[in-house]
Amino acid sequence: MGLIRLLPRPGGSPPAPTPERQPEHVERVLEPVVSEPASEAPSETPSDSTVDATTSPAADPAPDTSGDTRTATRVIALANQKGGVAKTTTTLNLGVAFREMGHRVLLVDLDPQGNLTMSQGLNPDAIERSMFDVLVHRVPISEVIEQREVDLAVASIDLAGAELALSALIGRERSLEKGLAEVRGQYDFILVDTPPSLGLLTINAFVAATGVIVPVQCEYLSLRGLVQLENTLAMVRENLNPHVAVEGIVPTMFDARTLHSREAIEILEENFGDLVYRTRIRKTVRYAEAPVKGSSVLKYDPTGAAAEAYRELAREVVAAKEAQDGAQAREHA
Ligand SMILES: Nc1ncnc2c1ncn2[C@@H]1O[C@H](COP(=O)(O)OP(=O)(O)OP(=O)(O)O)[C@@H](O)[C@H]1O
Ligand SMILES: [Mg+2]
């Protein structure tokens, strides 16, 4: 598949202000492509009926984040509607890397495929209660958390029916947010692995999240897919969670030997600038081997380059947020 080269940003000139959408830098980098004709809107992009107006901020205001644990706990959704880009691999290994740094970490498997659950040695088919019960039956999330390398709220095959079951519920987009409230203060990082779609499960992750990290496979770069994701996020920001934004893009399956991979990075940086993390997650079979053993790559091959890459990413994710917070504090001073 060939890479789509987007129009470069117009001469580095500042973007037209878009006050209703945050953050500005995301708007800026997407500006050349967001203006695609509406008729080309993706089928996965939620329709207005998916984003329920009855749960808009006006009807059900997002809680005030000042001074509560919500601001301290980072809830990060790992999302990309394209399949096989390393969402699950990144959720697990980034989470374990945060744990190694001393942070309290919860992983949430929100994908009916249950790959995250499996990658910690659990069988989703044999699980009695899972995130399905948390989302649909309001079972306390603490009842579906397993202690593995890090705490993990498990998925089962039932989750495949969650979107349908949720669609009949009032506040269907806030089920995860409500479920997490019980344990939120107990963790520094909650990482949510999402399915390869922009349906109701992923929307739930966006509504609960303080930020989104987007793994992007360097081989089959789909910038159009990233625009669709940002459009969905913009809808969530307008209706459900004004705080959520893409906080970073992780290039995965990078192969420095191929021009194709290097070009993919170039295109990403051209379009998304500082949102692209400097850490490259290289292509190696280690990432496929580790889950077979029910472990992260940090446990499977602790001194290897594959493990080190996710440690580096974890440090970068922490540092990027600190830099962002510092800049915001100076702005408000
Ligand atoms: N850096 C890498 N190098 C080589 N293989 C990788 C790398 N990262 C992940 N993989 C492998 O690629 C496959 C897809 O990864 P993963 O399951 O994490 O993707 P995903 O985005 O979660 O997929 P899905 O959309 O189906 O949930 C897995 O077999 C995984 O082991
Ligand atoms: Mg996955």
pLDDT in tens, 9-40: 333 333 333 333 333 333 333 333 333 333 33
Looking at the CA of residue 291, tell me the nearest atom of ligand 1: 31
**What's the pLDDT score for residue 87?**
98
Q: What is the pLDDT of residues 276-309, one digit of tens each?
A: 999 999 999 999 999 999 999 999 999 999 999 9
Is the distance from the beta carbon of residue 97 to the nearest atom of ligand 1 less than 6 Å? no
Task: Please give the pLDDT value at position 61.
Answer: 40
Query: Mean per-residue pLDDT for 130-150?
Result: 98
Gap from CA of 103 to ligand 1 centroid (Å) = 24
Q: Is the CB of 45 under 6 A from ligand 1?
A: no
pTM of the complete model: 0.83
> What mean pLDDT value characterizes the chain?
83
Atom number of ligand 1 nearest to Cα 287: 31
Contact 215, 86 (CB under 8 A): yes
User: How far does the centroid of ligand 2 lie from the alpha carbon of residue 84, in Å?
Assistant: 7
Q: Which pLDDT belongs to residue 181?
A: 98
Predicted confidence band of residue 326 (pLDDT cuts 50, 70, 90): confident
**Distance from the alpha carbon of residue 238 to the mean position of ligand 1, in angstroms:** 31
Q: List, in sequence order, every beta strand (DSSP E) within 116-180.
A: 145-147, 151-153
Residue 12 burial class via C-beta count within 10 angstroms: exposed 0-12, middle 13-18, buried 19 and up: exposed
Q: Is 239 in the pocket of ligand 1 (CB under 6 A)?
A: no
59-68, 86-95, 316-325: the lowest-pLDDT one: 59-68
Tell me the average pLDDT across 32-51.
37
68 Cα to the center of ligand 1, angstroms? 35
Cβ of 158 less than 6 Å from ligand 1? no
Model confidence at 219, in pLDDT bands (50, 70, 90)?
Answer: confident
Least confident among 30-34, 40-44, 143-147, 216-220: 30-34
Measure the CA angle with vertex 152, ends 148 and 155; round to 5°: 125
281: left (phi over 0), alpha (psi -120 to 50) or beta: beta
Is any ligand 1 atom within 6 A of the Cβ of residue 196? Answer: yes
Whether pLDDT at 91 is above 80: yes
Does the beta carbon of 93 sit less than 6 angstroms from any atom of ligand 1? no
For a pocket test of ligand 1, which of 287, 293, 301, 310 has the largest count of ligand atoms closer than 8 A to its C-beta? Answer: 287
Ligand 1 nearest-atom number relative to CA 113: 27
Neighbouring residues of the ion ligand 2, judged by CB less than 5 Å: 87-88, 115
On the question of pLDDT at 42 being above 90, the answer is no
**How far apart are the C-alpha atoms of 308 and 201, rounded to whole Å?**
31
Ligand 1 within 6 A of CB of 83:
yes
Q: How many helices (H) and strands (E) does the chain have?
A: 13, 7
Query: Are 217 and 85 contacting, i.e. CB atoms less than 8 angstroms apart?
Result: yes
Question: What pLDDT does residue 322 have?
Answer: 87
The arithmetic mean of pLDDT across residues 184-206, rounded, is 98
| Block residue for tokens 């992009």 | 45
Question: What end-to-end distance do the CA atoms of the chain give, in Å?
Answer: 48
Point out which residues pair with 193 in neighbouring strands: 78, 109
Query: Which residues lie below 8 Å from residue 47, measured CB to CB, with a gap of 6+?
Result: none
Centre of ligand 2 to C-alpha 252, Å, is 13
Residue 51 reports pLDDT greater than 60: no
Task: Answer yes or no: is the C-beta of 78 below 6 A from any ligand 1 atom.
Answer: no
- Which is the closest atom of ligand 1 to the Cα of 309? 1
Residue 221 pLDDT level (bands cut at 50, 70, 90): confident
- Nearest bound ligand to the CA of residue 79: 1
- Looking at residue 321, its pLDDT comes to 87
The residue among 120 and 46 whose pLDDT is bigger is 120
Residue from 234, 265, 278, 189 nearest 18 by CA: 234
User: What pLDDT is attached to residue 305?
Assistant: 98
Q: From the CA of 283, how far away is ligand 1's center (Å)? A: 10
Q: Which residues pair with 216 in a beta bridge?
A: 251
The stretch 152-178 carries a mean pLDDT of 95
For the segment 248-272, what is each residue's pLDDT rounded down to a tens digit? 999 999 999 999 999 999 999 999 9
- Any atom of ligand 1 within 6 Å of the Cβ of 208: no
